[in-house]
Structure 1
Amino acid sequence: MTANFYNKNASKLAEMYLSKTFEQVHESWLSYLTPILNKKEARILDIGAGAGRDSQYFAQQGAANNISVTAIEPALMLAELGKKHTQGLNINWLQDSLPDLTAVTRKEISFDLILLSAVWMHIPDAQRARSLRKLANLLKPGGLLVISLRHGESGDERNMYEVSSDALVQMSTKLGLSLLLVTDKKPDVIGREDVSWQTVVLKLPDDGSGAFPFIRHVALNDGKSATHKLALMRVLLRIADGQPGAVIRREDNRVILPVGLVALYWAHQYKDLIDKHQLYQTPNKNSNMGFMKEDGWHKLTHLSSSDYRIGNLFQGDQAIAMHKMLSASVANIKNMPCKFITFPNSAESVFEVSSKSVRAKDSLFLDLTTLNHWGEFSLPEHLWIAFSRYACWIEPVLVSEWTKTMAGYQGNRQYQAPEQQHKLVNALNWLEAKRSTSEVRNRFETLKKQNNSQHNCVWTNKTLNKQYAIDHCMPFARWPNNDLWNLLPSDVTANGQKSDRLPTEQKMRNAKQRITNWWQDAWLADNSIDISSQLNQKRFFAEANIALPDLESSNDSVDDLFEALLLQRERLKEMQQLREW
């Protein structure tokens, strides 16, 4: 009913909204806005953007600092007018709405400022706590949430509910938000006598969730009869940091993942520790763990951890063994760490597994669709956010504690001396850098011979002959990813200059055609007869669609992939404060 009203009266409402300036409407909190507009590359979310007056102000005032604005307006007709009014500005209009905010959440980005202007009164009481939690989860640490509260009847067909600044502040305190400002009620600037407004400004200090103390407790203080708990925490951290596209959905303040993916990463990290380095993972001298079954794990000892990756195809007896190994890993995760990791002073489990039986088959392609077959794994959203935002700080704690834990086990006695423990740290390496470029380098050479043509550097457009490099677009040292889409042919000099820095957004946009051309030529050439080419194409998108944010598991568009890569660039820049190139 409310959306219909805004659509039906879009032109009239747009004219009314635009008749007043941003400063007239938001004068009460302008002093809090100035530092954000002066911040380089700040991100602002405008929910209920209407005809775009506020989004336009943010984009124009922040243009010199490259501020980006995401505008959300559920009423389509009003949003179309808003898009026209703000054309040419750094504003991304999304179709979305509270309490779910599905579209913006899928992007896995956070904001310096979120504005809800004339929105809160449309949200029913039953949805307000959930909506506020969603908004808090979208804030950066130190970010501001500004909510305007309309007092007074709607006077038309719109659904409006009573609002209270006291209730809003009380609700926000439970979420760790701190109060900066509550204004007195002020007259409506448009002149409606029966309408008045208040503004509430809230701030998210630190991560605002209690996630850090909990993670630290599990890593450092929780009892450990084996390394299961540390393993699960590191798996989830790795998925949150490296596979943002793995989220199936969000519901009830929880993030839902394919439990098959959790199991794959579980096996990946244990694989070399046990089979290659012969490191014990329990206090007694028993090398076998619950997920190591004769018909699964022990039939795959010839493989390495690098084989346990998205985009790999297994066939025959090896596929059947992989099926059984994943099923055993799911059961072990469900019955061990998930059962024993509980909330503080509670018997309630933090992590939940809803598993399904999967019949082993003689062909297994590892992608999101396949890994969904084993069921679902859920974790609290605030933990997911902490893992994804602060992975580079949390992981060293987990690795350090895992090292100490292994050194204390009877079977690993030879590593107890401090000077020997670096071997344990090395064994915990997630990926081997040495295998990062050889496959792509071979593909580059093959294309040169097949096509008898020159290939250019994606960054400089220089012709590449004998001397060239294979560059990690997103730097491997900061975000270890060896997926096909992340590896690009580069001039040696340019590769050295780039080093471990992030390419700027503009540099990437300038290189888009060369990057997408390389993807097409190397991995996506249409060859229905060539089985290897078909597999490369499946693998290319399987890797990209799980590693990059805001992509569907079925995506096969390189343009959408490139836009998701820009999002990931932004996430890495924000989360790790990386230097740009």
Structure 2
Amino acid sequence: MQPEDVISTILKHDAKQTSYKFALVRAINDVALFFPYLRNPNKDIAIPLKLLAQYWVAYYWPFVNPNEPILQGTNTPDMRFRPQLTELRRIWEQINGGVSRPSDGFFLIDELRISRKRQTYGEELHRAFDESLTKIAQAVEQQPIKHAGPSSEPWTVFEKPKIYRKFDGSVVKIPGTQETDKCLIIEAPLWRTFQKRSLWIEALCIHEWALFGERVKQENQQKVHRCHIYRLLTDRPNKRIDLTWEKDCINNLLIEGKEFICPWTEKRITSGIEYHLDHLLPLSLYPINELWNLVPADPYFNSCIKRDRLPKLDTLQKAKPYLERAYSYYNSSEELSVALKDDVKSRFLTVSGKAKPYLERAYSYYNSSEELSVALKGDVCPSALANAVINFIDIVGESRNIARF
């Protein structure tokens, strides 16, 4: 069976008692899109179950609203992790002072993924989040991974997940994977299909999920209309996470005499000049608040022209010197350099840290052997990072057919 047929069969024809298989395919698809170094690999890919579980927190968030829970299957319980995720949502809403949006799960996983932001939350939220991930990871392995495919036999599409260290370098790992992480292996041809068909796969996942959800009787014996489920699954963030710490650090650089340049208008930004911290990848696409995704920009252009669009490749290439300048300044800041290194390490494999020989594309990001040696020492090379970010944004724009300027 061809990879495209494997995906469509799971989504459209597999027997389903819960929405787990939709969530599994959607999570693999998102991982394939948002980790840009793993393009066209010659080896299979290892995805930690805990990473898939993080995406599930976001996907299932709108269905554990304590005031309006929506069942996700015909079994009892419909979701093995419903109690844990419901408690996590309760704690999050208590912290934020009210009912959350359906898309707030995406904000939560982004906040707790970044170590410096995670530290700002209390132990109660940490514990609830970790308990949810543990329970979800168990469900991911025991049900959709095991039973994916039309056969009644288990493990016909995916191998049984194993601890990463047992693979002995035979697979490519997602950035941030630990030796003790249990991982799902995606064969290289299937991985390339996820990358090539990303937009189509996401659309089919959401469409089939909405149709399935409409058929599930709720506790009151009523059914939820597919349009409502579709709105919940496609809700997009419309608020900005607090970036006070980042702006304070950048303001200190401006006071020291550093001069940023807006990558889109070439407006010079010095101390006392108003600016926005632009999300290169817009929040409405995916809330990535990692430091490499934040650069000072012309406030009018950012809010009135760029908005939710992505720059075209030629625009990105013209912006490269200004992105490189910003990353160089971040490196010069004691606080920001640590944050930048952590954020880059969790997203890109070879902009800092030991470069991997099987990631041939990564070497093209370095302009000289000196730049590569910087990365091999574990430091962030601004030029290589700018190249990697440009490549990432262009991949996302092409894969998801985002409006561009």
* TM-score, structure 2 normalization: 0.70
1:507 is the counterpart of 2:315: yes
Q: Determine helix, strand or coil for the equivalent of 1:329.
A: helix
* Cα distance change on mapping 1:430 and 1:497 into 2, 3 Å: closer
1:334 to 125, 128, 141: 141
Structure 1 counterpart of 2:367: none
From 383, 390, 396, give the equivalent of 1:566: 390
Q: 1:561 to 1:463 in 2, by over 3 A?
A: closer
1:302 aligned to which of 75, 91, 97: 91
- 1:300–1:535 Cα change, 3 Å: farther
Is 2:12 the counterpart of 1:220?
Answer: yes
1:227-376 paired onto structure 2 within 5 Å: 227-245=19-37, 251=43, 254-275=44-65, 278-283=69-74, 286=77, 289-292=79-82, 298=87, 301-303=90-92, 305=105, 306-309=107-110, 310-312=113-115, 313=118, 316=123, 318-342=125-149, 348-356=155-163, 368-369=175-176, 373-376=180-183
Deviation at 1:409? 1.8
Name the aligned partner's letter for residue 374 of structure 1.
D
The answer on whether the counterparts of 2:341 and 2:379 sit within 8 Å (CA) in structure 1 is no
How far apart, CA to CA, are the structure 2 residues paired with 1:546 and 1:517?
Answer: 21
Return the letter of the residue paired with 1:560.
A
Tell me which amino acid in the other structure corresponds to 1:269.
Y
Contact persistence 1:485–1:544 (CA under 8 A): no
Of the candidates 208, 211, 217, which is equivalent to residue 401 of structure 1? 208
- State which of 310, 326, 342 in structure 2 corresponds to 1:518: 326
Shift of 1:377: 0.8
- Aligned 1:38-437 pairs, distance under 5 A: 210-245=2-37, 251=43, 254-275=44-65, 278-283=69-74, 286=77, 289-292=79-82, 298=87, 301-303=90-92, 305=105, 306-309=107-110, 310-312=113-115, 313=118, 316=123, 318-342=125-149, 348-356=155-163, 368-369=175-176, 373-411=180-218, 416=223, 418=225, 421-429=226-234, 431-435=236-240
How many angstroms apart in 2 are the aligned matches of 1:261 and 1:300? 19
Give 1 or 2: higher helix fraction: 2
Q: For the residues of structure 2 that align with 1:446 and 1:392, how far apart are their CA atoms?
A: 37
How many Å apart are 1:260 and its aligned residue? 2.2
Matches within 5 A, 1:454-493: 455-464=260-269, 468-474=275-281, 481-493=288-300
Report if the CA contact (8 A) 2:175-2:349 is conserved: yes
Structure 2 segments unaligned to the other structure (5+ residues) = 93-103, 165-173, 352-358, 363-374
Aligned 8 A contact 2:282 2:308 in 1: yes
Residue-by-residue CA offset, 1:221-240 (whole Å, 9 max, x unaligned): 22211111111111111111
Question: Which residue identity is paired with 2:91?
Answer: H
C-alpha separation between the residues in 2 aligned to 1:216 and 1:272? Answer: 25
1:53-93 per-residue CA deviation (whole Å, 9 max, x = no partner) reads xxxxxxxxxxxxxxxxxxxxxxxxxxxxxxxxxxxxxxxxx
Q: CA deviation at 1:378?
A: 0.8
Q: Secondary structure at the match of 1:350?
A: coil
- By how many angstroms is 1:265 displaced? 1.7
Q: State the distance in 2 between where 1:388 and 1:430 align.
A: 23
Q: Deviations over 1:457-495 (max 9, x none)?
A: 222221456764443434566676554322333224544
**Cα 1:440/1:542, change in 2 over 3 Å:** farther
CA distance in 1 between counterparts of 2:344 and 2:264 reads 23
Deviates most, 344-353 or 383-392: 344-353
Q: Output one character per residue of 1:191-214: Cα deviation in whole Å (capped at 9) or x when no partner.
A: xxxxxxxxxxxxxxxxxx733333
2:47 counterpart letter in structure 1: L
- In 1, Cα distance between equivalents of 2:210 and 2:109: 23
- Which has a greater percent of strand? 1
Give, in whole Å, the separation in 2 of the partners of 1:302 and 1:535. Answer: 29
Q: Which amino acid letter does the alignment assign opposite residue 308 of structure 1?
A: I
Amino acid paired to 2:339: N
Pick one of 232, 235, 246 that aligns with 1:443: 246
Q: Against the structure 1 CA distance between its residues 455 and 397, is the aligned structure 2 distance closer, same or farther, given a 3 Å change threshold?
A: same
The CA RMSD measured in Å over matched residues stands at: 4.1
Residue of structure 2 in register with 1:101 after alignment: none
Is the 1:485–1:519 contact (alpha carbons within 8 Å) kept by the matching residues of 2? yes
> Helix, strand or coil: the match of 2:156?
coil
**Residue 224 and residue 371 in structure 1: after superposition, are their counterparts in 2 closer, same or farther (change >3 A)?**
farther
Give the Cα separation in 1 of the matches to 2:162 and 2:128: 19
Closer, same or farther: CA 502–401 of 1 in aligned 2, 3 Å: same
Separation (CA, whole Å) in 2 of partners of 1:414 and 1:482: 41
Shift of 1:297: 7.1
The structure-2 alpha-carbon separation of the partners of 1:477 and 1:270, relative to structure 1 and needing over 3 Å to count, comes to: closer
Change (3 A) 1:562 1:372: farther
Q: Mark the CA change 1:466 to 1:238 in structure 2 (over 3 Å): closer, same or farther.
A: same
Give me the whole-angstrom Cα distance separating, in 2, the residues matched to 1:413 and 1:405: 18
Q: Deviations over 1:365-390 (max 9, x none)?
A: xx943655322111232322222122
Deviations 1:391-419 (A, max 9, x none): 1122122112212222222227698465x
Q: 1:51 corresponds to which residue?
A: none
Contact map agreement 2:163 2:179 (CA 8 A) in 1: no
Supply the distance in 1 between the matched residues of 2:132 and 2:350 (Cα, whole angstroms). 23
User: For residues 546 and 481 of structure 1, what CA distance do their matches in structure 2 show?
Assistant: 17
TM-score, with length taken from structure 1: 0.51
- Structure number, greater radius of gyration: 1
Contact preservation (8 Å) 2:215, 2:223: yes
CA distance in 1, matches of 2:36, 2:402: 19
Aligned length: 352
Query: In structure 2, do the counterparts of structure 1 residues 573 and 225 end up closer, same or farther at CA, with 3 Å as the change threshold?
Result: closer
Say whether the 8 Å CA contact 1:227–1:405 is kept in structure 2.
Answer: yes
Residue 576 and residue 355 in structure 1: after superposition, are their counterparts in 2 closer, same or farther (change >3 A)? closer
2:392 alignment partner AA? Q
